[in-house]
Amino acid sequence: MYCPSCRTEYREGFTRCSDCGVELVNDLPLEQEPEYVDLVTIYKGNSNSAAVTSARLTSLGIESWIKDEGIQCVFPNLGPAEVQVCMQDKELTLQALGTTTTGAESLDEETV
Ligand SMILES: [Zn+2]
């Protein structure tokens, strides 16, 4: 028997976790997978500009991840890196960065 909350194993006869007070289960559920997100690369460049782009997205409320190739470079901030965002944020991000790949020339943001 296992506590699904704290994952403590109990011997037969126990029905509740003495720590959590929750009912024990016969089998532990599988480790909860981290929420799966589809990431898309929206920027490729060096680590330095990737960090700038990522910070800009953060300031816009868009969560982003920097995928660093991890290549040891003479210039630590100039190694290749990519900025990735959730698939669902892709359009928003591209609009925010003004780099829509659809070839739209009329970016209203430009006039601000
Ligand atoms: Zn417990």
User: What is the Cα–Cα distance from 77 to 66, expressed in whole angstroms?
Assistant: 13
Query: Dmax of the chain from CA atoms?
Result: 72
Q: Ligand 1: distance of its center to the CA of 3 in Å?
A: 5
Q: Bigger pLDDT: 72 or 37? A: 37
Least confident segment among 9-18, 26-35, 43-52: 26-35
Mean pLDDT of the chain: 81
Domain map of the chain by residue range?
1-30, 39-101
Q: Do 66 and 53 form a contact (C-beta atoms < 8 A)?
A: no
Tell me how far the alpha carbon of residue 28 lies from the centroid of ligand 1, in angstroms: 12
Compute the distance from residue 22 Cα to the ligand 1 centre, in Å. 7
39-101 — its CATH code? 3.30.70
